[in-house]
Structure 1
């Protein structure tokens, strides 16, 4: 088995563990705790967006497709996806914090964990696709990652 395939298997195993991890969400102990948890959670999602933005622009033909950038951003997205469960573990729903996150994150933790898994797997597939340097394969894999992002936005983000 190649190193790349071993890496993908490891990521898939880690993603499965995330679903179990998210189910251990705990309520924020104070408003200060809720604010800090929200800031940290938002930081992860801002980083995801900053890495997804150029990929979306490439997929739409707004900027030139660059397999090296696709691979770099896919690796970052994959790494960040592995952090989402950790940074959504604190349930901030009982406090009036400035957030676009819907309380559904903590009310439907199993589904939220599955959504994280989809992003982890799609970004791992994008890493592989980037190595192909094939425009069609790259655009399709970028679209799959974008679809997972959009699915979470639809379900868990106030728009």
Structure 2
């Protein structure tokens, strides 16, 4: 019940906080810093996905405790993405794999963020069940949201 309450609260918060309305970076320094912060969030998401992917592929044993911890982290990081994409850096020469379509398709990008929040919430619930099949399926759901966003918004 405790995790379900967290999931519901996270869902409500995500609905109200993931709208992406970007302001243009005020300088190249501002654009570089905004890009570095975004990349830091994605690095943390990736580091938490690594062991989850290995579990889903059967390369390491499924550990529900690790899954729940990593899913919670991914969920929390997903809630930050909208805030860190509020600075449009497309008019500056920054090193990024992000496509400029992030800035022209903001509603679609916000939906992708919401999908990651929902998928990571579902993974937390699956981890609580300790059902290996449900956990692997939910890991796949998180991976699918990551891949879908990469397809649309990453070079």
Matched, 1:139 2:136: yes
Report the 3-state secondary structure (helix = DSSP H, G, I; strand = E; otherwise coil) of the residue aligned with 1:68: helix
Q: What's the counterpart of residue 60 of structure 1?
A: 57
Cα deviation digits, residues 37-93 of structure 1 (max 9, x gap):
000010000000000111011000111111111001000000000000111110000
Q: How far is 1:131 from its partner?
A: 0.8
Q: What's the counterpart of residue 47 of structure 1?
A: 44
In 2, the alpha carbon distance for the partners of 1:18 and 1:151 equals: 21
TM-score where L is the length of structure 2: 0.97
Runs of 4+ in 1 over 3 A off after TM superposition: none
Q: How far is 1:13 from its partner?
A: 1.1
In 2, the alpha carbon distance for the partners of 1:19 and 1:77 equals: 15
Matched, 1:129 2:126: yes
In 2, the alpha carbon distance for the partners of 1:18 and 1:109 equals: 14
TM-score where L is the length of structure 1: 0.94
Q: What's the counterpart of residue 36 of structure 1?
A: 33
RMSD (CA atoms): 0.9
In 1, the alpha carbon distance for the partners of 2:103 and 2:62 equals: 37
Instruction: Extract unaligned runs of 5+ from structure 2.
Output: none
Equivalent pairs counted in the alignment come to 155
| Farther off after superposition, 5-14 or 149-158 | 5-14
Q: What's the counterpart of residue 87 of structure 1?
A: 84
2:69 to 69, 72, 75: 72
Matched, 1:16 2:15: yes
